[in-house]
């Protein structure tokens, strides 16, 4: 497991010298962290609200690669003058169903909270489209970087390595970088996400517990996702396969992370993929979806007349998934807090550049089940998208 974000972070005051220490100290008293926490709490970003209070100067001034980091003078000059900073955000794409809406809402509300600490404006450089394209994301970041329009950057990467180069390039110019949503092996100051393999194990444990409490003896399982090759998808599927295989005697997987069902992120294509898979594998009793498509597996199960015989588990919140839970088809929707991930960047930037503090990675999955009820999740989803 990688080091914690506090261990991996950088002590900006130690690394940048007396001039920056003086500049930050002079303005530290005006940073309204209480106001930021109030906004985050109002928006139900409770993990972030807690994270502001947990933020601390890191124990080491070394980055992951052993180098030190110095904030650019242009940025500290802006801070000293009380000028607006350019906060840049890059996530997968602006048209991915459910995901993009929640990231847009999150970054907007995160900026509102961050402004209580430090003046800044949002520059969303995420590409258009309905699928994640690494090169388009990097091109968008470089376009802002080359024109001096980034003072702090947050990236939602595709995997743990594709953005290492651009992260190092931006950091080399004295611009802080944070990553969210996916485990990262880069040089960023901190990362806000879960560990995908542990997520898969957690999903398996939830299913096993549900089976025991509901007297279900399911044996035939399958895994699926919009992009099964992604690092996070592989981790979630591998952990689920391991957990079920260990905890369910005689469990059989029709596929694994090595040959998972590819559903895409397109709603119609995802529904068609599940209908075809169920028709071709009529013995399947349980399907794991590792991203946004579980509601379409729910619908395909219903359309095939298998309600009460086949079940699902999925990630993230959508009205369709919550309906599936209420209908007794979907065991759980594992909310990874997309909106909170998007809101992390601006708040982390403000805390770091104002106080020299790094926010810890305190994110955790929040399972929504029939037992917990879907009412609160429905209200949360509505408030995020409002």
Mean pLDDT across the chain: 90
Is 17's pLDDT higher than 50? no
Domain covering 196-335 assigned CATH 3.30.1020.10 in the classification? no
Phi/psi at 120 (5° precision): -160, 160
Phi/psi at 37 (5° precision): -60, -40
**Residue % of the chain over a pLDDT of 90:** 82
Is 9's pLDDT higher than 50? no
pLDDT band at 166 (very low <50, low <70, confident <90, very high): very high
- Cα dihedral 375, 379, 382, 386 in deg (nearest 10): 170
Q: Measured at the alpha carbon of residue 141, what is the angle toward residues 136 and 147, in degrees to the nearest 5?
A: 130
Q: What is the pLDDT of residues 136-160, one digit of tens each?
A: 999 999 999 999 999 999 999 988 8
Is 98's pLDDT higher than 60? yes
Which DSSP category does 148 fall into?
T
Q: What is the pLDDT of residues 234-245, one digit of tens each?
A: 999 999 999 999
Which DSSP category does 81 fall into?
H
Pairing assessment for the beta strands 366-369 and 330-335 based on DSSP bridges: antiparallel
Record: fold of 5-194+338-364: Rossmann fold (3.40.50)
| Residue whose entry in the numeric block shows the structure tokens 């500290």 | 76
Q: What's the pTM value of the predicted model, to 2 decimals?
A: 0.86
56-60, 190-194, 224-228, 246-250, range with the lowest pLDDT: 56-60
Confidence at residue 385, expressed as pLDDT on a 0 to 100 scale: 81
Is 185's pLDDT higher than 70? yes
Q: What is the pLDDT of residues 274-302, one digit of tens each?
A: 999 999 999 999 999 999 999 999 999 99
Q: Which of 147, 99, 97, 103 is nearest to 124 (CA)?
A: 103
Is 25's pLDDT higher than 70? no
Is 251's pLDDT higher than 50? yes
Tell me the C-alpha distance between 103 and 224, whole Å.
23
The domain ranges of the chain are: 5-194+338-364, 196-335
Confidence at residue 7, expressed as pLDDT on a 0 to 100 scale: 32
Please tell me which residue, 30 or 117, carries the higher pLDDT value.
117
Tell me the C-alpha distance between 44 and 343, whole Å.
11
Confidence at residue 30, expressed as pLDDT on a 0 to 100 scale: 57
Query: Residue 185: exposed, middle, or buried by beta-carbon count in 10 A (0-12, 13-18, 19+)?
Result: middle
Confidence at residue 368, expressed as pLDDT on a 0 to 100 scale: 98
Q: What is the pLDDT of residues 198-222, one digit of tens each?
A: 999 999 999 999 999 999 999 999 9
Which DSSP category does 149 fall into?
-
Inter-CA distances, 227 with 2, 285, 334, 366, Å: 24, 22, 18, 22
Q: Are 5-194+338-364 and 196-335 equal in CATH topology?
A: yes
User: Can you name the residues that pair with 278 across neighbouring β-strands?
Assistant: none
Which DSSP category does 147 fall into?
T
Confidence at residue 154, expressed as pLDDT on a 0 to 100 scale: 98
Is 2's pLDDT higher than 70? no
| Residue whose entry in the numeric block shows the structure tokens 């919009």 | 226
Q: What is the pLDDT of residues 328-347, one digit of tens each?
A: 999 999 999 999 999 999 99
Report the interhelical angle of 294-303 vs 267-280 (nearest 10°).
Answer: 50
Is 40's pLDDT higher than 90? yes
């Amino acid at each position: 497991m990688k080091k914690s974000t506090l261990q991996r972070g950088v002590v900006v005051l130690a690394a940048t010298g007396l001039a920056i220490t003086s500049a930050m100290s002079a303005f530290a008293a005006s940073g309204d962290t209480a106001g930021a926490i109030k906004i985050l709490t109002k928006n139900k970003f409770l993990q972030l609200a807690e994270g502001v209070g947990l933020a601390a100067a890191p124990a080491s001034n070394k980055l992951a690669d052993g180098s030190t980091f110095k904030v650019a003078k242009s940025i500290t000059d802006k801070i000293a003058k009380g000028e607006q900073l350019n906060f840049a955000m890059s996530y997968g794409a602006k048209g991915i169903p459910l995901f993009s809406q929640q990231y847009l809402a999150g970054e907007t509300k995160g900026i509102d909270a961050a402004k209580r600490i430090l003046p800044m404006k949002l520059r969303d450089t995420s590409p258009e489209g309905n699928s994640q394209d690494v090169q388009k994301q990097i091109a968008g970041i470089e376009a802002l970087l080359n024109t001096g329009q980034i003072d702090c950057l947050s990236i939602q990467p595709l995997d743990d390595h594709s953005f290492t180069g651009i992260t190092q390039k931006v950091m080399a110019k004295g611009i802080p970088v944070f990553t969210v949503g996916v485990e990262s092996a880069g040089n960023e100051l901190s990362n806000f996400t879960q560990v995908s393999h542990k997520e898969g194990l957690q999903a398996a444990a939830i299913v096993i517990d549900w089976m025991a409490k509901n007297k279900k003896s399911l044996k035939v399982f399958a895994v699926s996702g919009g992009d099964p090759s992604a690092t996070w998808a592989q981790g979630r599927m591998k952990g689920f396969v391991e957990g079920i295989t260990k905890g369910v005697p005689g469990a059989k997987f029709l596929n694994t992370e090595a040959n998972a069902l590819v559903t895409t992120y397109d709603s119609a294509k995802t529904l068609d993929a599940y209908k075809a898979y169920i028709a071709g594998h009529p013995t399947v009793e349980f399907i794991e979806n590792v991203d946004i498509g579980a509601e379409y597996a729910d619908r395909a199960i219903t359309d095939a007349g298998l309600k009460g015989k086949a079940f699902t588990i999925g990630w993230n919140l959508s009205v369709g998934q919550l309906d599936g839970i209420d209908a007794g088809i979907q065991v759980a929707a594992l909310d990874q807090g997309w909106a909170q991930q998007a809101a992390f960047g601006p708040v982390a930037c403000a805390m770091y550049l104002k106080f020299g503090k790094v926010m810890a990675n305190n994110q955790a999955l929040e399972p929504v089940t029939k037992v917990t009820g879907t009412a609160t999740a429905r209200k949360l989803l509505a408030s995020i998208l409002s």
